Structure 1
């Protein structure tokens, strides 16, 4: 009985994370502008929350890239 299953292309995940980063960035900017124009501290606070979400996605994106680096003489684990 052969063991076979399909693998997802790792770069397709990078694209999805990148889209999520940019979506959060646009939402953050829109909430800051909306919060300033309407005088809503709640919108500005939520924008800062979305900014922290975006920062964590950037870290995840960088970690995905680092995890796929090939091994070399100095770092045999990749």
Structure 2
């Protein structure tokens, strides 16, 4: 069975696939589970911190955020921490 292409958080619906030459982190758990977030151009400090990403499907609905932070054992994967408003 062929694997479906990965989708990028915040990408346009007409082409949500990863772009060559970009750097991504995989989101694990929470409302954005399975998506990739494009961290191209982020500083090492920003990448090491994680992010609070807007989402309408989290605990707080439209305008809410899902908080993700790098895994200790593999910083390429960001694990869901909590939802925030």
TM-score exceeds 0.5: no
More helix by share: 1
TM-score where L is the length of structure 2: 0.20
Relative contact order, higher structure (CA 8 A, sep 6+): 1
TM-score where L is the length of structure 1: 0.21
**Highest CA radius of gyration, 1 or 2?**
1
More strand by share: 2
